[in-house]
Amino acid sequence: MSELLAPAWAATGAGALVDDHALLTAMLAVEVALAESQAELGVIPEEAAKAIRAAAVPGNLDRAAIAEGVRETANPVVAFVAGLTAAVDPAAAEYVHRGSTSQDILDTALMLLCTATLGRVERDLLATAGTLAGHVRAHRDTPMAGRTLTQHAVPVTFGLKAATWLHLVLDAVERIRRARTGLPVSIGGAAGTLAAYDEYGPGAPELPDRVARKLGLARQVLPWHGIRTPIADVASALLVTTGALGKIAADVLVLSRTEIGEVTEERAPGRGASSAMPQKHNPVFATLVATAARQLPPLAVVLFQSMSAEDERSSGGWHAEWQPLRDALRTTAGAAANAVRLAETLRVRPEAMAANLRLTRGAIVSERVNAFLAPKLGKAVAKRLLAEAAVEAERTGADLADVLGADVPPGLLDPAGYTGLAGPLADRALARFEREEF
């Protein structure tokens, strides 16, 4: 699996979570859990289940033959089952995949891959949250320019900005956990009636729950071959996660511009280097996270579209899920890993924030001055006066205080004194993290 053109997840280990080896390993685990559950119910001999477990090793399978089988049968399970059956002791071969269908095995295996990937994403999100919480504490009261529609608006604090990021990450953790704990086993048989399972022996109604317990998955209410909510739930959690991390990356990319310089990623030999410009220090981790955030929406669209599945099992809709789901999982895992590094390497520059606050020569606190003058002059008159004063200050290069003269106390124009409730609001996000309210 090439990572050369996969910046969103290259060298993060995300690819191995969902590659062909991981998928085959998961499919083998499902077949073993199925056989052992059937042995416990008396459907197949216990020795047969042991023989299936002994043979369930990825090295026993011909990956190329399974890939060729995908083209012949439109899914990887048929050739996979043939390969596993050939590897099992001949005395037990007839008990492999007994009563099952391709979708049972593949859907359940995909749930195992989702479980493992979402678990790693959660761990990385929590690590990112911990670092962001440190930024909130350190810069609770560090003033900076708040920007709306690309322009200076009113002062905020970097602590509040970091708290916003922290809140988003905790929202993502909440959704990842919800999706992960709800991933169900998929045992239904050919048309979701458990018919063949029941025909082979007793205990078919109990079989899905037994398999679920062995694999650590949630129980199914009904076979969900045509009910693609579990996949949509995963897609939703991944989309929120990359969107949340993408917001952090977008802010960092703006704030680290040369002419702004309020934050930067820590320099390290070779990191952020340009092939042509020696002076460059590009924001690498923010770029990688932003890449993932842009790639997830179209992948999620495909997964949501597959909910409109015809019949008891779909032709095309089910098949269309596999690659986008794999891509979405590894892209999100890569984004979460890169977000850890982004938070860790982020360096805050309060001196640049202070300098940028002065760029408009006091106009950034016009809202505050308006609130001071409105009771004296009337709201409309005060706003017009300030607009005219701001234009004059910009035209002449004077400070707004000089244009307004004695009508306004000088201290009223101090940006550091007008950050509203930024500190207490930042504390709320910090308290959510510290109390684990997510």
Question: Is residue 290 scored above 80 in pLDDT?
Answer: yes
Pairing between β-strand 263-265 and β-strand 151-157 as defined by DSSP bridges: unpaired
pLDDT of 13: 96
Are 387 and 174 in contact by the 8 Å Cβ rule? The answer is no
410 band by pLDDT with thresholds 50, 70 and 90: confident
Are 207 and 189 in contact by the 8 Å Cβ rule? The answer is no
> How does the average pLDDT of the chain come out, rounded?
96
pLDDT, tens only, 324-359? 999 999 999 999 999 999 999 999 999 999 999 999
pLDDT of 274: 86
Are 367 and 361 in contact by the 8 Å Cβ rule? The answer is no
pLDDT of 411: 85
Beta carbons within 8 Å of 358's beta carbon, 6+ residues apart: 415
Question: Average pLDDT, stretch 74-91?
Answer: 97
pLDDT, tens only, 250-273? 999 999 999 999 999 999 998 988
Distance between CA atoms of residues 13 and 7, nearest Å: 12
Which amino acid is present at 428?
R
Q: State the catalytic residue, choosing from 178, 257, 274, 384.
A: 274
pLDDT of 1: 67
- Of the ranges 197-211, 237-251, 302-316, 391-405, which one carries the lowest mean pLDDT score? 391-405
63 is catalytic: no
Question: Is residue 207 scored above 70 in pLDDT?
Answer: yes
405 band by pLDDT with thresholds 50, 70 and 90: confident
Distance between CA atoms of residues 329 and 389, nearest Å: 54
pLDDT, tens only, 146-196? 999 999 999 999 999 999 999 999 999 999 999 999 999 999 999 999 999
pLDDT, tens only, 144-159? 999 999 999 999 999 9
Pairing between β-strand 346-348 and β-strand 143-148 as defined by DSSP bridges: unpaired
H or E stretch including 292?
helix 284-305
- Of the ranges 65-79, 138-152, 264-278, 286-300, which one carries the lowest mean pLDDT score? 264-278
Q: State the catalytic residue, choosing from 313, 326, 330, 368.
A: 313
pLDDT of 409: 86
pLDDT > 90: percent of the chain: 93
Distance between CA atoms of residues 100 and 103, nearest Å: 8
Distance between CA atoms of residues 223 and 226, nearest Å: 8
Beta carbons within 8 Å of 287's beta carbon, 6+ residues apart: 7, 249, 253
pLDDT, tens only, 360-375? 999 999 999 999 999 9
pTM for this model (two decimals):
0.96
313 is catalytic: yes
Q: The dihedral of CA 417, 419, 425, 426: what is its sign? A: negative
316 band by pLDDT with thresholds 50, 70 and 90: very high
Beta strand segments in 253-386, E: 263-265, 346-348
Of 142, 46, 112, the closest CA to residue 350 belongs to: 142
Can you give the three-state secondary structure of 167-189, one letter per residue?
Answer: HHHHHHHHHHHHHHHCCECCCCC
pLDDT of 419: 96
